[in-house]
Structure 1
Amino acid sequence: MTKLILSTGNIISGGPSIVRKPGASNLELVNSLKVSFQDAQLDYADEIENLNANGTTKTTTTTTNGTSNGVHEATNGDSNTTDPVAGPLYWTAQDQKNNTIFVPRIDWETAALSEERSQYDITVKIFFLPTTTPDVSRRAQYTTEAMELVLKELGGIPDVDLLVVSFPGMSFDGDCEWEADKLNASQGDDESEIATWQAAVEELHRQGLVKRLGISEFGTEKLARFIKRVAIPPAVDQINLKNCCNVPPPLATLAKEQNVELLVHSDCTDILPEGTLRELLGPQGAGLLADPATGSGGLTGNLTPQWVIKYTAVVKNRGVIENKGYFAGAELN
């Protein structure tokens, strides 16, 4: 098994503008990844040409499908070093110790916020995807991995202000707010959601990595049941009202009684479907995956998206988004 870590970098700073269309809330993620891949391929193509021209020593490496993948820059002997990969994957990097490929490479030295941590309101949202098992230990692993990447990307900050959790199978759809609230009551899986919250999410709060916790798409009954069974209740509930005009009155009343802040969002639950990810990384996309018709090109195997995390850093005194981006995790078997 090989882990893939996809990243957009800061989608606020420079580069082509991101296309946004109503009703397709995962387009920001998909288009941002496309831009990130294209930029990396252009940037690192020049680096490879310079290495070849200068006669830099390289060693042959092997991809996960057992075939030669060109050349791999020699390391300093540290098995945990993340090294650039050449051949078809020249714009990626590999952490050999953890069997992880970063798509694209990440220049951690340039990752930082421009001002002191106290000047920012930082919100993070993790999406557990329908394609993965609701196993609590795996979700705890995903959450830890994702949070570590965000903290590192933002310059090694010690914490974030709000972490929102999005569980699969949840929505707030209906012809009216009353119907949406009623349908929401039977969605998702209470047991796995509560167990995940207790094992993965509350622990981050106890460690001081997250100041406030939130959930997404919980209506009146779901929220009431959830609050009764967790030690640290959510301070925020995000709901998507794209098909409804108003917050259901019972939910508004419950939120007020329990000191839960209701926020509106436009994210979809299944933000990175398996087909979309394969298209992004396939021969007609980034070219990371081998051509199924010929078997040539990049990596082969079953590709499964596991999680997505979105982060936003807002400068408090100006209300300006300085840094916003995504990471996504997947498995290649």
Structure 2
Amino acid sequence: MDPNTSVNNTEATMLLSHAKTLRLHTGNLVNRSRLKKKCPGSPSEELRDCIQATLSDWFSTNKPSSKDLPDTLDCFFPEATDAITPEEREEVKVSVKLFLCESGQSSIRDAVEMACRTLAVSQLDSVIIAPPGPLEGDSQSLAHLQPAWEQLEALVRSQQIAAIGTSDLDKDLLEQLYNWAQVKPSSNQVNLASCCVMPPDLTAFAKEFDIQLLTHNDPKELMSAATFQEAMQEGAQGLSVADWRLEWVLRYSIIVKSRGIIKSKGYLVSARKASP
């Protein structure tokens, strides 16, 4: 065994055993030089590859001081930043989709604040929410959506988000949300794997109330707990990660308005160690 590998494993063990939270930033995926698979087959595969590669690179290049073991591990590379300069802010649109894996009350605010800090902006142009799936046997309902939507509304009022949207709502649920919400949804994503053609009733409702219908190919569960732990274990050089849980995943795109091209895209990921 390479002695450096042993040293790195020891240091990684110290970091992971002490930390309570893990925050990870993949950097710009438009340039995929650090990833094994340049053209992943699905969003889930892309995310798995990103977590594994970012953790692996980070643990191999960071050496902690035994006096300074942080409660939060921030795994990112300064050279991979997607920070937006003040000069270019008006020229780009920052679009975000937030996947909540758990129903933590602070998750949405934490994710939005981390995105603003990472991208060096005071406001995200649009945020689409994908809340945690309903319990087994239940269907998604307005009551299931309301807690997350209220948090998004608060972030709109504080001007950290300009517009908020939903994902995979049928016409009835979108109408219920629209009628209840103080800040109305500006968009609704539809998965074309479940319907090849936009449902006519949804199209008519969205047109009447100026809601943009978008398409996506994200699975219902972006990443299972088992897949996350596999990716983390590979990236953390085989260390035990059984007590780590995925909290949320934020995928961002920075789009040049005048040309409609993606300047950069990436993921922010938050995981938390389960309490003993």
Q: Shorter-chain-normalised TM-score: which range?
A: 0.7 to 0.9
Whichever residue aligns with residue 28 of structure 1, its letter is E
Gaps of 5+ in 1: 49-57, 62-71, 73-93, 171-185, 292-299
Q: State the alpha-carbon separation in 1 of the partners of residues 112 and 258 from structure 2.
A: 25
Pair 226,108 (structure 1): closer, same or farther in 2 beyond 3 Å: farther
Secondary structure of the equivalent of 1:9? coil
Aligned partner of 1:19 in structure 2 is 39
Pair 196,14 (structure 1): closer, same or farther in 2 beyond 3 Å: closer
Q: State the alpha-carbon separation in 2 of the partners of residues 19 and 241 from structure 1.
A: 21
Pair 163,279 (structure 1): closer, same or farther in 2 beyond 3 Å: same
Aligned partner of 2:95 in structure 1 is 123
Pair 286,14 (structure 1): closer, same or farther in 2 beyond 3 Å: closer
- In the alignment of these two chains, the number of paired residues is 250
Pair 195,243 (structure 1): closer, same or farther in 2 beyond 3 Å: closer
Residue deviations 1:3-33 (CA, integer Å, cap 9, x gap): 1112211111351453322xx4311211222
Say yes or no: does 1:203 pair with 2:162: no
Q: State the alpha-carbon separation in 2 of the partners of residues 193 and 27 from structure 1.
A: 27
Pair 59,116 (structure 1): closer, same or farther in 2 beyond 3 Å: closer
Higher helix share: 2
RCO higher in 1 or 2 (8 Å CA, sep ≥ 6)?
2
Name which of 251, 256, 259 aligns with 2:210: 259
Q: Are the aligned partners of 2:82 and 2:264 in contact in 1 as well (CA < 8 Å)?
A: no
Q: Are the aligned partners of 1:19 and 1:27 in contact in 2 as well (CA < 8 Å)?
A: no
Q: Are the aligned partners of 1:124 and 1:312 in contact in 2 as well (CA < 8 Å)?
A: yes
Aligned partner of 1:318 in structure 2 is 259
Q: Are the aligned partners of 1:168 and 1:188 in contact in 2 as well (CA < 8 Å)?
A: no
Whichever residue aligns with residue 20 of structure 1, its letter is P
Say yes or no: does 1:229 pair with 2:180: yes
Normalising by structure 1, report the TM-score: 0.68
Aligned partner of 1:303 in structure 2 is 244
Pair 35,287 (structure 1): closer, same or farther in 2 beyond 3 Å: closer
Secondary structure of the equivalent of 2:268? strand
Normalising by structure 2, report the TM-score: 0.82
Residue deviations 1:88-120 (CA, integer Å, cap 9, x gap): xxxxxx6x3xx2112x24428955236510000
Say yes or no: does 1:146 pair with 2:111: yes
Pair 110,250 (structure 1): closer, same or farther in 2 beyond 3 Å: closer
**RMSD of equivalent CA atoms:** 2.4
Q: List aligned pairs for 1:91-110, cutoff 5 A.
A: 96=70, 99-102=71-74, 104-107=75-78, 110=81
Aligned partner of 1:286 in structure 2 is 235
Q: Are the aligned partners of 1:272 and 1:308 in contact in 2 as well (CA < 8 Å)?
A: no
| CA apart distance, 1:40 | 3.2
Q: State the alpha-carbon separation in 1 of the partners of residues 272 and 261 from structure 2.
A: 35
Q: State the alpha-carbon separation in 2 of the partners of residues 331 and 109 from structure 1.
A: 24
Say yes or no: does 1:249 pair with 2:203: no
Pair 252,110 (structure 1): closer, same or farther in 2 beyond 3 Å: closer
| CA apart distance, 1:322 | 1.3
**Higher Rg of the two aligned structures:** 1
Gaps of 5+ in 2: 1-18
